[in-house]
Amino acid sequence: MAALSVFLVEDNHKIREHLVPALADLGSASVMAIAESEDEAIAWLGKHKGQWDLAVVDLFLEKGNGLGVIEWCNGREPRQRVAVLTNYSTDVMREACLKAGADAFFDKSTELEAFFEFCLDIHR
């Protein structure tokens, strides 16, 4: 079974530094690209349609925000998933992200285990 191809939209270097190897440690996920801004993410997605399995999106980015990235992904293939991984975990934001088209929403500080389980479930 091929590794899960992950596109990571995250502007915080420290978080990326921990998240990329953690995904690799799952044994089933590989981060194929990283974007730090909404525009950079959308440009990459536009050039790589159908080439990724999971987009992991933070809400607050260097420029722009994750909601724009989520909305852009609405034309994705049925097998492709979008997960929000953020520190800004309010009920209103969770609802807005799911309404915008995210498949899942996780709090970085309290739901990492659930996020990794979600990644494993996609790959099964």
Burial class for 57, CB neighbours closer than 10 Å (0-12, 13-18, 19+) = buried
In this predicted structure, what is the pLDDT of residue 25?
87
Per-residue pLDDT of 62-118, as tens digits, reads 899 999 999 999 999 999 999 999 998 899 999 999 999 999 999 999 999 999 999
pLDDT category of residue 122 using cuts at 50, 70 and 90? confident
In this predicted structure, what is the pLDDT of residue 1?
58
Contact call for residues 7 and 54 (beta carbons, < 8 A): yes
Question: What is the rounded CA–CA span in Å between residue 106 and residue 77?
Answer: 22
DSSP-derived 3-state class of residue 34? strand
Contact call for residues 72 and 101 (beta carbons, < 8 A): no
| CATH architecture observed for domain 4-123 | 3-Layer(aba) Sandwich (3.40)
- Report which of 52, 59, 43, 47 is spatially closest to residue 23, judged by C-alpha positions: 52
In this predicted structure, what is the pLDDT of residue 26?
80
Per-residue pLDDT of 6-19, as tens digits, reads 999 999 999 999 99
